[in-house]
Amino acid sequence: MNIQDLEQTWINQFDKPLVIGGPCSAESEKQVMEIAEKLDKNYVQVFRAGIWKPRTKPGNFEGVGAIGLNWLKRVKDELGMPVATEVANASHARLALEFDIDYLWIGARSTVSPFIVQEIAEALRDTDKVVLVKNPVNPDLDLWIGALERLAAQGIKKLGVIHRGFSSHNKSKYRNEPQWQIALELKDKFPNLPILCDPSHITGRRDLIFEIAQQAFNLEYNGLMIETHCHPDEAWSDAKQQILPETLKEILVDLTLRKKNDTSDRYSTLLSQYRNEIDNIDNQLLGLLASRMDISKKIGKLKKEHNVAIFQADRWNVLKKLAIRNGVRMGLSKDFLDQLLVSIHKESVELQNQIMKE
């Protein structure tokens, strides 16, 4: 079964963007019920809680285990809320089905392993539950798509993805870099596939959640998964990124939803004008890049003739520092400039390396 052939009408049952809220980890039955009761059901449609918590190092809290499924079932039975939890292996998946959990998600650490995903897919074969796949830890689109394909091959028809950001060696204000372009490429390949954003894991900080949530809606995401706790600072896991149920409501009320399109004459005319301007500038940029690479080839030939190494660290560091400083003055972001310059330099080095081989 191809992902493109799945209609994914399950997302249409909601008259608002889907919001999945609840604690990072279920800690006690009392804690679970307290949070679930305080969530505003007009804005939060699904309750979430982690039962099994994959941790980087042993000795940290790794979840309450299967007993927490009873607590989720109580939320569902008494409050009428659909419930969701993460399944990290086939055993978790079978238990979640046994307790009639409505939404199951495969976490970033599991998505990286085709073996684990295959075992989970087989355990969930032909289920009518919604299965959501978080992006893998590393920025690998093929792994993300591969996980979805494995699930679809097992007859799982209700699929979606969760964008939770990617690990990076570069330090920034985010816990995990959004790298929006990867999620948007997935969205472009599979426009039928619902996509949710997880601002909690992208930011790692409660004060940045609104910013990322709004950006997700600016990009026409279908919903959000946000970690919520009645006593965030006392949470047993990911305390810094959890927010109060009241704060979650404030964020959801303040978010601006964007229209898919606008058919007014003014909008269409201006959009066409601006896009034409971008096309012209893009052509100029491509021409300049081609000219730059021609010069790089000349430098490569000169270095080969004089038996000089390609990479000159001092020159590269000075060039990069100067370009970033000038670009920032022009209103460009440092992160964008860094990525752009590294890409240009990488291509230049590759061209010179090819010349050295001739």
Nearest to residue 18, comparing CAs of 194, 276, 240, 212? 194
β-strands 103-106, 83-86: how paired? parallel
CA-to-CA distance for 27 and 53, rounded, in angstroms? 11
CA-to-CA distance for 242 and 248, rounded, in angstroms? 9
Residue 322: what residue type?
A: L
Residue 101: what residue type?
A: I
Q: Could you tell me if 186 and 231 lie in one domain?
A: yes
Q: What pLDDT does residue 187 have?
A: 94
Asked if the model's pLDDT at residue 318 lies above 80, the reply is yes
pLDDT bracket for residue 57 (50, 70, 90): confident
Q: What pLDDT does residue 188 have?
A: 94
Last residue of a domain, one of 220, 254, 288: 254
Asked if the model's pLDDT at residue 1 lies above 80, the reply is no
**Is 82 within the bounds of a domain?**
yes
Q: What pLDDT does residue 172 have?
A: 82
Q: Could you tell me if 124 and 147 lie in one domain?
A: yes
**pLDDT tens-place string over residues 65-113:** 999 999 999 999 999 999 999 999 999 999 999 999 999 999 999 999 9
Average pLDDT, rounded, for the chain: 94
Last residue of a domain, one of 221, 254, 287: 254
CB burial of residue 81 (10 Å; 0-12, 13-18, 19+): buried
Cα–Cα–Cα angle for 212, 339, 323, nearest 5°? 120
**pLDDT tens-place string over residues 147-170:** 999 999 999 999 999 999 999 877
Q: Could you tell me if 239 and 274 lie in one domain?
A: no
If one counts every other C-beta atom within 10 angstroms of the C-beta of residue 40, the result is 14
Asked if the model's pLDDT at residue 7 lies above 90, the reply is no
If one counts every other C-beta atom within 10 angstroms of the C-beta of residue 126, the result is 8
Which residues does 201 contact at the CB level (< 8 Å), separation at least 6?
108, 164, 165, 175, 176, 241
Q: Could you tell me if 23 and 52 lie in one domain?
A: yes
Average pLDDT for residues 313-328, to the nearest whole number?
A: 92
Asked if the model's pLDDT at residue 55 lies above 80, the reply is no
Q: What pLDDT does residue 60 have?
A: 79
Nearest to residue 25, comparing CAs of 57, 53, 44, 67? 53
Asked if the model's pLDDT at residue 56 lies above 80, the reply is no
Asked if the model's pLDDT at residue 262 lies above 90, the reply is no
* Tokens, residue 190: 């599979």
Q: What pLDDT does residue 299 have?
A: 94
**Is 94 within the bounds of a domain?**
yes
Asked if the model's pLDDT at residue 140 lies above 90, the reply is yes
pLDDT bracket for residue 232 (50, 70, 90): very high
* Tokens, residue 306: 């004089």
| Cβ–Cβ < 8 Å for 17, 217 | yes
Q: Could you tell me if 240 and 120 lie in one domain?
A: yes
**pLDDT tens-place string over residues 164-198:** 999 987 778 999 999 999 999 999 999 999 999 99
CA-to-CA distance for 323 and 338, rounded, in angstroms? 9
Q: What pLDDT does residue 54 have?
A: 76
CA-to-CA distance for 248 and 219, rounded, in angstroms? 20
Asked if the model's pLDDT at residue 271 lies above 80, the reply is yes
**pLDDT tens-place string over residues 40-49:** 999 999 999 9
**Is 75 within the bounds of a domain?**
yes
Q: Could you tell me if 275 and 214 lie in one domain?
A: no
Tally of domains in the chain: 2
Q: Could you tell me if 249 and 277 lie in one domain?
A: no
Q: Could you tell me if 191 and 125 lie in one domain?
A: yes
* Tokens, residue 99: 């307790």
CATH number of the domain enclosing 348: 1.20.59.10
Asked if the model's pLDDT at residue 51 lies above 90, the reply is yes
**Residue 304, domain extent:** 265-357
> pTM for the complete prediction?
0.85
Nearest to residue 18, comparing CAs of 221, 164, 178, 184? 221
* Tokens, residue 313: 């660290």
**Is 90 within the bounds of a domain?**
yes
Q: What percent of the chain has pLDDT over 90?
A: 87
Q: Could you tell me if 24 and 97 lie in one domain?
A: yes
**pLDDT tens-place string over residues 189-226:** 999 999 999 999 999 999 999 999 999 999 999 999 99
Last residue of a domain, one of 254, 288, 315: 254
**Is 260 within the bounds of a domain?**
no
Q: Could you tell me if 250 and 336 lie in one domain?
A: no
Q: Could you tell me if 155 and 215 lie in one domain?
A: yes
